[in-house]
Structure 1
C-alpha cells in the first residue's frame, strides 16, 4: 500500500529535454495563457475557462496539496513553461492513480516533450511512490496523445461513448492504463 504522506514532498524530475518542477504561483501567467488556447482546450475537453485569479490560486496552492502531485513541465535548457501534469485520484489500497498532462500550446507537440515528461512521471510513480497502476482518459480524436501513451506502455482498457460534446459533435474517450511491469518492458 502506498503512503499518501509521500505526496507532500513534490519532486523535481529532470530529463534530457524537460524538467518537471512543482507547480507554483510563478507559473500563473504561462498556465493562464494555455487556458486561452482553443486547440489545447479542445484536446483536453475543457469547456470552462477559468479566470486569471482562479489560475493564480490554483498554482499557488498546488505545493500544499496533500493528495496529488502537480508539476510544471519546463523546457531544457532555458526553463520555458511548456505545460503541466498531475498524478491525482490516488487509491492507496489498490496502489493506483490517475494521470493527466497538457502541453500549453500546439507549438510544443511533436517534439517528444510530452513523451519524456510522461516517462519521468511514470518512473516516479512506480519507483518512488510504489504504484502498481496509472490510468488516464484521452479523447479518441487525440491520435497524437494516444500514440505517445502507447509508446510509453499504456494499453486501452475501455471506451466511454459520447463522453465529450464539443462544437456540436459527440466524441468518445478512451480509458488507458499502464501497469508497473508494462512500464518496465516499455522502458527497455
Structure 2
C-alpha cells in the first residue's frame, strides 16, 4: 500500500516535540511572520507552539510537518483547518521556514501532497486559502497548483503604514491536477 503522505522529496509527518523549538526560531523572522498571517508579528516559544498544536481540534484540522526525504530535516508545516464536513470545504495554510529552503520546490510538493490527501482521503470538495497580495512567490505556487482567485478583500492588511489587498483563492477537487508524481 502506498504512503499518500510521501512524495519524491518530502513527507508530511507527525510533529515531533523537538520540532517546535526550530519553528520558534522561524517566528523571530519578520518576513516569515508577515507572510504567514495577517495578525501582528509576535514571536512564540517552542513550548507555546507545541501547546497550540496539542489544542487543535482533531475533528476539523489536519496538521503536518513537512520533512525532507533525504535527511529527515524539518522544512515547514502545512495544515487543512476549519473543515466544514457538511460542505466538504477546508482552509489551507503552509509555510516553509528557512529562507534557503524556499524556491526549491518543497512547498509545491507539500501542497500537492496535502491537496491529494484532502481530496482523495478526506473527500473534500474544495480547498480555500487567503494570501497577502505582496506574497508573490506563494501566489505563484498556488496558481501553479491550480488555485484560482475568487475575491479580493481590498486594503485589508496594514504593514509598515501601507495597506495591501488580501486575496481569497480556491481549488475544487475536480480541477486538481497533481504537479508532482504521486505514487
2:91 match: secondary structure: strand
Which structure 2 residues correspond to residues 10-21 of structure 1 after superposition, within 5 A? 13-21=5-13
Q: Which runs of 4+ in 1 moved over 6 A?
A: 185-188
Give, in angstroms, the shift of residue 161 of structure 1.
1.1
Cα distance between partner residues in 2 of 1:117 and 1:75: 10
Give, in angstroms, the shift of residue 140 of structure 1.
0.7
Whether 1:40 aligns to 2:64 is: no
1:144 match: secondary structure: helix
Q: TM-score, normalised by structure 2?
A: 0.88
1:14 match: secondary structure: coil
Q: List gaps (5 residues or longer) in structure 1.
A: 1-10
Give, in angstroms, the shift of residue 162 of structure 1.
1.5
Cα distance between partner residues in 2 of 1:186 and 1:115: 8
8 A contact 2:116–2:178 mirrored in 1: no
8 A contact 1:74–1:83 mirrored in 2: yes
Aligned to 1:49: 43
Aligned to 1:126: 119
Q: List gaps (5 residues or longer) in structure 2.
A: none
Whether 1:67 aligns to 2:49 is: no
Whether 1:102 aligns to 2:133 is: no
The aligned length equals 177
1:15 match: secondary structure: coil
Give, in angstroms, the shift of residue 99 of structure 1.
0.3
Q: TM-score, normalised by structure 1?
A: 0.86
Cα distance between partner residues in 1 of 2:90 and 2:129: 9
1:118 match: secondary structure: helix
